[in-house]
Amino acid sequence: MRLKTILSGLIAGLIAFAPMVAMADETASIRFIVTGDLYELPAEKGRGGYAKLASVAKIFKKKTKRNIHSFLVHVGDAYSPSLLSTMDKGKSTVEMLNAVGVDYMVLGNHEWDFGPEITRERVWESNFPVLASNVIDKEGLPVDGTVRTAMVKVGPFRVGIMGLVTPNTKFVSYTKTDEFLPVMDTAKKLAKELKGQGANLIVALAHLDFVEDMELFQSGIVDILLSGQDHYFIFQDNGKSLWMDSGEDAEKVGIVDVHLKSYMKRGKKRFSWEADMRFVDTKYIPEDKAIAAKVKGYEKYLSKELDIEIGKTLSQLDSRKKTVRTEEAAIGNLIIDAMREGVGAEIGITNGGGIRAKKMYSPGTMITRRDILTELPFGNVVVKLELTGLQIFDAIENGVSEVERNSGRFPQVSGMSFTYNPKAKAGSRVNSVKIGTSPLNKGKTYTVATNDYMASGGDGYSVLKKAKVIINASNATLMASMVMDYIKAKGSVSPKVEGRIVAQ
C-alpha cells in the first residue's frame, strides 16, 4: 500500500509539473546601435565622426549579455556629400563603414549623388548587407547587390528587417532609371512576407522624410522604425510601435534594446516585446585609436591637396542651411555670379541645397580650396541653357514652392531678381521677375547658367529638362573649379545681399 501511495503521488506530481514546463517563458533581447546621415570622417567640436562611432559600437556590443544580440545599423546617407567624396565618390566612406563594423544599412538619397552605377559599386564593396526594399531597376529587379529583406535569429525568436528609401530621392539625386515604389504599400507587403517566414518582430531601417516616417510609425505595420534623413533626435513609443532617429554625423548614437518574450496563455503560445532607448553623447566617448589613425591618414591627404589659399572675402559669408535655403545669401550670390560669368550667360540659377558647409566666414577670411569644395561637395558641373521667360518664371515658382520646409530647391540667382509671397499657395507665389533692370518677357528667350543636377530635373526643376542645351554636362566645367577660378582671378571678393530676392 505504501509503495502504491508513493508511486501515485510521484505520477501526480509529474502530471502537475508537465504544464509548468510547457508554460516556461522564453526570453531574449536584441540591441540596435543606430547612426546615419554621417558625412564627414573626423569629429566636429568633440562630437561625432567615425572614430567615436567605432568606440560606441565596441562599448555597447561588449556590454551585451549572453542573450542580447547587438547590431550596428546605418540608416542612410553615407557616400555623399563630404569633402572627401568630391574626390573619390564615397569609396573611402565604405572603407570606414567596413572598418567600424556596420551590420546592416539602408540606402539614403545621397547614395545616388554620383549616379546609380557608383551606387552599385559601393554596395558591392560593402562587407555587410545593404537594403533598399522599395527600389527597383528598369527591369523591375532590386538594386544590384542589395538584399530585399533580412531575417535575424535572436534566441528562439526571429526578427525581420526591411529597408525603405524615400521616393523623393527620384527628385533630389541622380537615380536615372531606378524607380522607388510607394513606402506604405511596400512596408505592408514585406511585413506580411516576413511574418509568413516566422518573424516575431518587424524592423524597418528607413531613410524617409518626416511625414513618411510619421505615417509608417502610426500605421503599426512595423514594430520598430529606425530612421534617418530628417537629422532630428527622435524617440517615440505609442504603445504599439517605436520610432528612433539619431540626428546626424554620429554626434549622438541611438541605443535601442528590445526585449522579446514568449509565454503560454489560455493554452496558446503568445509573444510580447518591450523596449528602452537612449542616446549616447559622443562628446564623452574616447576615439577608437585604429579608426582615428585611418581618419588622420585621409585628413593628411586632404590637407596636402586642399589647404591652398585662393583669395580673400572682404564681406561676411553665411552658408548656414536656413540662410541658403530661405533667402538671398551673399555666398549664394558669389557662387552663381561665378557660374554665370564662367559660361557667359545672361542669368544664373542654382539651388541653395547644393551649398553645404553650414559655415560663417568673417570679413578678411582667406578662402581655400577646401572651403569651396566643402561648400560644393557634389561634383556638379555648370551647364548653359536657353529658356523662355515663361520657363524661367516656372523655374522660380518651383524654387520657392517649399520655402517653408527649408527645401534645397530654393534658388540663388544672378543677373535677375524677383519678389514673392511665401504665404501664398505653392505655384502662385512669384509676384514679379526682372532680368537686369527690365521686367521678364515671358515670350523672349534668355541664356541661363545652372548646374547639371537641376538641368536634369533635380529638386523639382522639371521645366529645365525642356530647355535648349548650349553647354551640356559632357562639355562642362566643374562648378567648384569655376568658383575657385573666379575668386583667384579677382584676388578678393565682397559679395553682399542686394535685393535679388525679396519676400513680400
| Residues 28-48 pLDDT 10s | 999 999 999 998 899 999 999
Using one digit for the tens of pLDDT, what is the confidence trace for 46-105?
A: 999 999 999 999 999 986 656 689 999 999 999 988 878 888 999 999 999 999 999 999
pLDDT band with cut points at 50, 70 and 90 for residue 267: confident
Q: What is the pLDDT of residue 9?
A: 44
For the chain, give the percent of residues with pLDDT over 90.
84
Q: What is the pLDDT of residue 66?
A: 63
Q: What is the pLDDT of residue 65?
A: 59
pTM of the model: 0.77
Q: What is the pLDDT of residue 234?
A: 93
Q: What is the pLDDT of residue 51?
A: 98
Q: Given a cut of 60, is residue 273 above it in pLDDT?
A: yes
For the chain, give the percent of residues with pLDDT over 70.
94
Q: Given a cut of 90, is residue 7 above it in pLDDT?
A: no
Q: What is the pLDDT of residue 14?
A: 41
Strand residue runs (E) in 389-491:
411-414, 416-420, 430-435, 438-439, 445-451, 468-471, 477-478
Cell of 306: 586642399
Q: What is the pLDDT of residue 310?
A: 96
Task: Tell me which residue of 302, 409, 420, 433 sits closest to 351, measured CA to CA.
Answer: 409
Q: What is the pLDDT of residue 8?
A: 42
Q: What is the pLDDT of residue 174?
A: 86
Q: Tell me the torsion sign for CA atoms 355, 358, 362, 366.
A: negative
Q: What is the pLDDT of residue 392?
A: 98
Strand residue runs (E) in 68-173:
68-74, 104-106, 130-131, 135-136, 149-154, 157-165
| Phi, psi (rounded to 5 degrees) for 124 | -70, -25
Using one digit for the tens of pLDDT, what is the confidence trace for 229-249?
A: 989 999 999 989 999 999 999
Q: What is the pLDDT of residue 15?
A: 39
Domains of the chain: 24-296 (3.60.21.10), 308-503 (3.90.780.10)
Mean pLDDT (the chain, rounded) = 92
Q: What is the pLDDT of residue 304?
A: 87
| Cα–Cα–Cα angle for 231, 232, 233, rounded to 5 degrees | 130
Please state the rounded mean pLDDT for residues 3-8: 38
